Structure 1
Amino acid sequence: MLSIIRDIPPHVFGVKATGQVTADDLKSVLLPGLEVLTQNQNDIYYLLVLETPVENFTAGAWFQDMVAGLKHFTKWKKIAVVTDETAVEKFTDAFSYIAPGESKGFKLSQLDEAIDWLSIK
């Protein structure tokens, strides 16, 4: 399930993933949130808090995630992924080399640091 994170800077869109994440979650939460953000801000500052293993994302969810990434490819400015999965954190750090903008992985205990990092335009 994806839920919107409140109480973060208005130029940041954040979601928390718990349990199983499906294509419907991305279609009903992530994609509309990114649409509103790009209409209001033009740039994407994105916070993803993974409180579930990446194995809990269905194939359809990964496909919708790819669609979101490609649709807004030039608008990504900063992506923070907060997780205790070391491989995901390292992948996020490396993602900056192949995609526009900056990507950075954080541990769950560093959520406030991730929000602070995203706060800086």
Structure 2
Amino acid sequence: MIRLKPGFEHDTIAVEASGMIEADDYSSVLIPALEQALKDHASVRVWYEIDDGCRGVRLLSLWQDVLLGLFHLDDFRRIAILTNRPSFRRMGELIGLFMPCPVRVFHLDEGQTARVWLSQNR
């Protein structure tokens, strides 16, 4: 499940993932938030926090993630991924290789460092 996290700048989409990440999480939460933010901003920052209780990602969710990246490739300014899980850390590092914007993976206890990094300009 993906839910929006409050308390971030207006040009930042902040989400927290827990349980099982489903394809519907993209269509009902992440994509509408991105489209709304892009009405006011040329590009957005993304805070993607994956808690320790996250059990995984459904295959269709991964496809949704790929499509989101392809259709909005130039719409992201920076992406911070926070997780302690090794598999999600590797996935975040892999995503960073293909994105034109800076992507950085942080441990969950590095939240303040991640916020500072995310707020920086290129």
TM-score higher than 0.5 here?
A: yes
What residue in structure 1 maps to residue 113 of structure 2?
113
Work out the CA distance in 1 between the residues paired with 2:31 and 2:13. Answer: 11
User: Could you state the TM-score of these two structures normalised by the residue count of structure 1?
Assistant: 0.88
Please, which moves more after superposition, 110-119 or 100-109?
Answer: 110-119
Sequence identity percentage: 23
Q: Deviations over 1:64-99 (max 9, x none)?
A: 111111111112220100000234334534544432
SS of the equivalent of 1:110 reads helix
Where do 1:47-58 residues align within 5 Å?
47-52=47-52, 56-58=56-58
- 1:61 partner amino acid: S
Work out the CA distance in 2 between the residues paired with 1:68 and 1:97. Answer: 16
Structure 2 runs not aligned, ≥5 long: none
SS of the equivalent of 1:46 reads strand
Work out the CA distance in 2 between the residues paired with 1:17 and 1:94. Answer: 18
Where do 1:41-120 residues align within 5 Å?
41-52=41-52, 56-93=56-93, 95-120=95-120
Work out the CA distance in 1 between the residues paired with 2:94 and 2:63. Answer: 20
SS of the equivalent of 1:15 reads strand
Give the ranges of 4+ consecutive aligned residues of structure 1 lying more than 4 Å apart after TM superposition: 52-55
8 Å contact from structure 1 (residues 17, 52) kept in 2 = no
Shift of 1:52: 4.7
Shift of 1:42: 1.3
- 1:82 partner amino acid: L
Residues matched between the structures, number: 121
Q: Deviations over 1:19-58 (max 9, x none)?
A: 0111111110011111111221111210100015775211
Please, which moves more after superposition, 37-46 or 22-31?
Answer: 37-46
8 Å contact from structure 1 (residues 89, 104) kept in 2 = no
| Residue 33 (structure 1) aligned with residue 11 (structure 2) | no
Structure 1 runs not aligned, ≥5 long: none
- 1:86 partner amino acid: P
Please, which moves more after superposition, 52-61 or 96-105?
Answer: 52-61
SS of the equivalent of 1:109 reads helix
Work out the CA distance in 1 between the residues paired with 2:93 and 2:60. Answer: 24
